[in-house]
Amino acid sequence: MVDREQPPHASEHIPENIFLVGLMGAGKTSVGKLLAKRLGKAFHDCDHEIERATGVKVAVIFEIEGEAGFRARESKILSELVLRSNIVLATGGGAVLSGANRALLAARGIVVYLRAGAAELWSRTRHDRNRPLLKTPDPLAKLEQLLAERDPLYREIADIIVDTGRQSPASLAHRLEHKLLQFKSGEGAHEVTPLRSR
Q: What is the pLDDT of residues 53-80, one digit of tens each?
A: 999 998 899 889 998 999 999 999 999 9
β-pairing verdict for 160-163 and 109-115? parallel
The answer to whether 121 and 163 have CB atoms below 8 angstroms apart is: no
Whether the predicted pLDDT of 127 surpasses 80? no
Check residues 136 and 27 and name the one with the higher pLDDT.
27
Residue 41 belongs to domain with CATH number: 3.40.50.300
Q: Which residues, 6 or more positions from 153, have their beta carbon under 8 angstroms from its beta carbon?
A: 96, 97, 102
pLDDT confidence of residue 131: 59
* 173 pLDDT above the threshold of 70: yes
Does the residue 6 lie in any domain? no
Q: Round to whole Å and give the CA distance between 52 and 179.
A: 32
pLDDT computed for residue 186 by the predictor: 78
Residue 29 sits at φ, ψ, to 5 deg, of -75, -50
What pLDDT, in 10s, does the model give residues 181-196? 989 887 554 444 443 3
Q: How far apart are CA 15 and CA 167, in angstroms?
A: 26
Residue 129 lies inside a defined structural domain of this protein? yes
User: How high is the pLDDT of residue 2?
Assistant: 40
Across the chain, mean pLDDT equals 84
Sheet holding 42-45, edge to edge: 42-45, 87-90, 17-21, 109-115, 160-163, 191-192
Domain of residue 145: give its range. Answer: 12-192
Q: What is the pLDDT of residue 156?
A: 97
Domain membership flag for residue 198: no
